[in-house]
Amino acid sequence: MTSKQRAYLKCLASSLTPIFQVGKASISPEMAAGIDEALEKRELIKISVLKNCFDEPKEIAQTLAERTNSQVVQVIGKKIVLYRPAKKDAKIQLPR
C-alpha cells in the first residue's frame, strides 16, 4: 500500500465510528471472525481498544491483520483502522 493510498483511507476512516471493542479478554476467535465478516461487507472498519485491555493497540492491530488477511491503515491511541478489499463488489477504489 502506498502512502497516497494510506492517506486516502485515513481520510475515509476519519468519519467512521468504531464497530468493535477489544476489552479485557483481548482477541477471541469469535471476534476475529466477526471482524473478518465486517471487512468483507464494509472494507474499511474502525476498532476501539478499551482501557482495561492489557495488550498494546499496535500488537492487537498486527494480530487482527494477520488473522483477517487485512492491512493496518493506522493506529492512533486506542483506535485501530483496518482495510481489506471485498472479494465481490469492491466499493472503495484506491488512488494509484
**pLDDT tens digits for range 9-21:** 999 999 999 999 9
CATH number for the segment(s) 3-83: 3.30.110.60
Q: Can you read off the three cell numbers belonging to residue 1? A: 500500500
- Cβ atoms within 10 Å, residue 82: 26
Residue with the three cell numbers 500488537: 59
Q: Where does residue 60 fall: left (phi above 0), alpha (psi -120 to 50 degrees), or beta otherwise?
A: alpha
Predicted TM-score (pTM) of this structure: 0.92
**pLDDT tens digits for range 5-64:** 999 999 999 999 999 999 988 888 999 999 999 999 999 999 999 999 888 999 999 999
Q: What is the Cα–Cα distance from 73 to 84, expressed in whole angstroms?
A: 10
